[in-house]
Structure 1
Amino acid sequence: MSMEKPPSRPDEPEGCLTAVIRIPVRIVVLVIVVPVRMVWDVLVVGARALDRTVLRPAGRALAWLGRALFVRPGVWLWRQVVVPAVHHVLVVPGVWLYRHVLAPVGRGLAQGLGWLAKALFVWPWVALWRYVVVPVARYGIGVPAAWVYRWVLTPLGGGASYLLGRLWRYGIALPLTWLYRHLLAPVGRGLAQGLGWLAKALFVWPWVALWRYAVVPVVRYGVVVPLVWLYRRVLAPVGRELLDALRVGWRVAGFVSRAVGRALAWVAWNLVGRPGAWFYRTVCTPVGHWVRDQVWAPARRAAVAAGQAAREGLAAARATVRQARRDAWRALVGGPRVTEPVEPVVASARTLGSTTTASGAAPEPEISLRKRG
């Protein structure tokens, strides 16, 4: 990795200040950053190891324990106890009560109340409206009012509307329109233009001239230009150098931290890992094989034989009890006694490579496949 600064861009020339502070800044930053990077790498490795060896197994164990202690019992209790109890105690009686009692009673009450409400409040008012109010309003008010509107009010309204319209148009609207168009509008436009020019001359143009020829040049050449020069010639080069120094120092610290980590890993492997692997291969593996072949396999075969013998004994006991029950029933009820032939129980043999039994298979000697091969 090169420690030199890459060539600068053509639009930003390098100054003497940049060349002077480059190497000291990078050395100081490297000395400061290397311990920080090593501590950071140690924390990252420790956090990953803690997550992989402690937090994840603990989380899985807690999740399994929570499911075993709370979720599964709660689900079983809800499905097997709460739901059937609620169904048989509340739902079934409620449905029966609603279907056979409340619904018929409610429908009967609704029909009765409906007929009673109609008889008391609807039908009398309907009859009154249909046979009293409508005829009176129609023949006592509607017909005379229609005749008066058609033969009296309509001709009078038409004549009055015509006269008022002509009077408004030729007596008021046309004179006002001529007055606004030829007198008021030109005078208003002239006054507005004159007042506008006067307001600009008094309040706008002096401030515009002051802003354009006094404030803007002072701010531009007194504040902006010095700040731009300071940023381009001092702050930007110093900032770029500091950023480059931090980047280079962080990379170099990463290489140093990686080299230190590899050295520590090599030392740990040669001090702990290699002796542990040798002990596992030369001691633990042979001992484990001996325990598996000499202790675990005979114990497993003995347990299988004991289980087979127990199952055969239970089958014979069940057959004896069944036969005794049949004989007792025949002795009480009567009938010819027929003795069913009992087939001899033949020990089932295990198939090679499995623990299940197959009927009709010849027994195989209990010899390990590893020793046989």
Structure 2
Amino acid sequence: MDLEKSAPAVRGDASRGEGCLAVAIRVPVRIVALVLVVPVRMAWDALVVAGRFLGDAVFRPLGRASLWVVRAVFVWPFAGLWRYVLVPLGKVLAWLGKALVVLPAAVLYRHVLTPLGHALLWVYARVLTPAGHAVVRALRVGGAVLAALGAGAYAGLAWLTRYLVVVPSVRLYTWVLAPAGHAVAWCVKGLVRLVTMIVTGVGAGLYWITRILFVLPALAVWRWVLVPVGGVLAVVAREVGNALGHAWRVAGRVSLAVGRFLGALFRWVFVEPVRWVYRSVLTPVGYMVRDAVLRPVAEAVRGAGRAARQALAAARASVRRARADVRRVLLGEPAGSRPGKPAAPRPVDRREPTGRETRTLGSRTTSLTKD
């Protein structure tokens, strides 16, 4: 148990030793990063807010308007052209193609090509097929004769080739070319072994020279210089990255607090006074103007309108009565009327009455209903 606990303690001491370097680098780096990143983050947040505002207030309506213009200029004309021009024209062309091409082609196929095909089939079955069988039989007999002649010629050529070409070639290879080839192969193998030994020696020398002059110094530089420097640079880079991330988050909180402060300041400086003025000043003034000016003016205008309509109705009734009296004086009574018969009732003006009471509460009549 003691041994198991001692190993983490050693690792903790090593991490604490590395942590001292990290802390020594972290504090100034975080201060510098915070000073440099806060303006950048605030500018970035301001650009984001401006971009959202422009997107909602400018680009989205502009895009919708552009889409509507594109539809109105391109889509709807082409849709109308397709629906009201091309589709009817296509139907007409399809009908013309069917009437001028398909039906004549069907008639030609049915009444011309089909009988002609049956006639050609009869000629093929009754004339060409027997003639073809006869030609095939004649070709078979001629082929058998030619095959017999070819077999004899092939046997003669094979015997001549065997004893004039193959047998001399085999003897030449066995007694001349094979021994010469073995001798040449032995010489080549010896030469290859000699060249291999020379190349191996030269390669070993070059290997040790390269190892002593280049590999060992490079390995020493890597192990004793680059690895420690790289470790320090890695710690510095890690701390710089962590400092930038921490500064970015802190700058975000600072930017959020500044934005909320500016929003609250704008609200209390502009929005709340405007709201208070609207609620406490403009709304009562509007109600007062409505009750004191607009409603009396509207009532006066409506009364003037009613008076004008009544005057026009009275004038029309007077004109009708005067016209009836003139017609009666000039032309006399109508043919169907008798002396002493009571006159026809005059038409009653069924518009609004002339008095102030235009509607009764105890009856069913209104100002616009009949008497």
- Quickly name the TM-score band, shorter chain normalised: 0.5 to 0.7
**Where do residues 1-373 of structure 1 align in structure 2 (5 Å cutoff)?**
10=14, 13-14=17-18, 19-68=23-72, 70-88=74-92, 90-100=93-103, 145-150=146-151, 152-157=152-157, 159-160=159-160, 163=163, 167=167, 171-175=171-175, 179=179, 183-201=183-201, 203-222=202-221, 225-233=224-232, 235-276=233-274
One-letter amino acid matched to 2:226: L
Contact 1:38 1:254 survives alignment (8 Å): yes
Contact 1:41 1:257 survives alignment (8 Å): yes
One-letter amino acid matched to 1:205: A
Deviation at 1:17, TM superposition (A): 6.3
Deviation at 1:196, TM superposition (A): 1.2
Contact 1:8 1:14 survives alignment (8 Å): no
How far apart, CA to CA, are the structure 2 residues paired with 1:37 and 1:256? 9
How far apart, CA to CA, are the structure 1 residues paired with 2:12 and 2:99? 91
**Could you say which structure has the larger radius of gyration?**
2
Deviation at 1:164, TM superposition (A): 6.3
Q: What is the SS of the residue equivalent to 2:27?
A: helix
Assess, with a 3 A threshold, how the Cα gap between structure 1 residues 95 and 169 changes in structure 2: closer, same or farther. Answer: same
Assess, with a 3 A threshold, how the Cα gap between structure 1 residues 184 and 86 changes in structure 2: closer, same or farther. Answer: closer
How far apart, CA to CA, are the structure 2 residues paired with 1:75 and 1:82? 10
Q: Percent sequence identity over matched residues?
A: 33
Q: What is the SS of the residue equivalent to 1:210?
A: helix
Contact 1:33 1:253 survives alignment (8 Å): yes
One-letter amino acid matched to 1:266: A
Q: What is the SS of the residue equivalent to 1:189?
A: helix
Q: Deviations over 1:281-329 (max 9, x none)?
A: 77769989xx9xx99xxxxxxxxxxxxxxxxxxxxxxxxxxxxxxxxxx
Assess, with a 3 A threshold, how the Cα gap between structure 1 residues 22 and 166 changes in structure 2: closer, same or farther. Answer: closer
Contact 1:34 1:249 survives alignment (8 Å): yes
Report the more deviating stretch, 56-65 or 16-25: 16-25
Assess, with a 3 A threshold, how the Cα gap between structure 1 residues 195 and 262 changes in structure 2: closer, same or farther. Answer: same
Deviation at 1:29, TM superposition (A): 2.2
Q: Deviations over 1:236-266 (max 9, x none)?
A: 3332332232222222211111111111111
Partner residue, 1:320: none
One-letter amino acid matched to 2:82: W
Deviation at 1:197, TM superposition (A): 0.8
How far apart, CA to CA, are the structure 2 residues paired with 1:188 and 1:213? 36
One-letter amino acid matched to 1:98: V
Deviation at 1:74, TM superposition (A): 3.7
How far apart, CA to CA, are the structure 2 residues paired with 1:281 and 1:72? 48
Q: Deviations over 1:126-185 (max 9, x none)?
A: 999999x9899887x7565444334x4354345446656983686244446863786554
How far apart, CA to CA, are the structure 2 residues paired with 1:87 and 1:284? 67
Partner residue, 1:330: none
How far apart, CA to CA, are the structure 2 residues paired with 1:128 and 1:286? 120
Q: What is the SS of the residue equivalent to 1:14?
A: helix
How far apart, CA to CA, are the structure 2 residues paired with 1:105 and 1:181? 81
Assess, with a 3 A threshold, how the Cα gap between structure 1 residues 70 and 172 changes in structure 2: closer, same or farther. Answer: closer
Deviation at 1:14, TM superposition (A): 3.0
One-letter amino acid matched to 1:156: G
One-letter amino acid matched to 1:199: V
Deviation at 1:62, TM superposition (A): 3.3
Which consecutive residues of structure 1, in runs of 5 or more, have no partner in the other structure?
Answer: 1-6, 115-125, 296-364, 366-373
Deviation at 1:61, TM superposition (A): 3.5
Assess, with a 3 A threshold, how the Cα gap between structure 1 residues 25 and 260 changes in structure 2: closer, same or farther. Answer: same
Assess, with a 3 A threshold, how the Cα gap between structure 1 residues 71 and 15 changes in structure 2: closer, same or farther. Answer: closer
How far apart, CA to CA, are the structure 2 residues paired with 1:258 and 1:277? 25
Q: What is the SS of the residue equivalent to 1:179?
A: helix
How far apart, CA to CA, are the structure 1 residues paired with 2:12 and 2:53? 43
Q: What is the SS of the residue equivalent to 2:18?
A: coil
How far apart, CA to CA, are the structure 1 residues paired with 2:79 and 2:177? 90
Assess, with a 3 A threshold, how the Cα gap between structure 1 residues 158 and 231 changes in structure 2: closer, same or farther. Answer: closer
TM-score normalised over the length of structure 1: 0.55
How far apart, CA to CA, are the structure 2 residues paired with 1:136 and 1:73? 76
RMSD: 5.1
Partner residue, 2:330: none
Contact 1:29 1:245 survives alignment (8 Å): yes
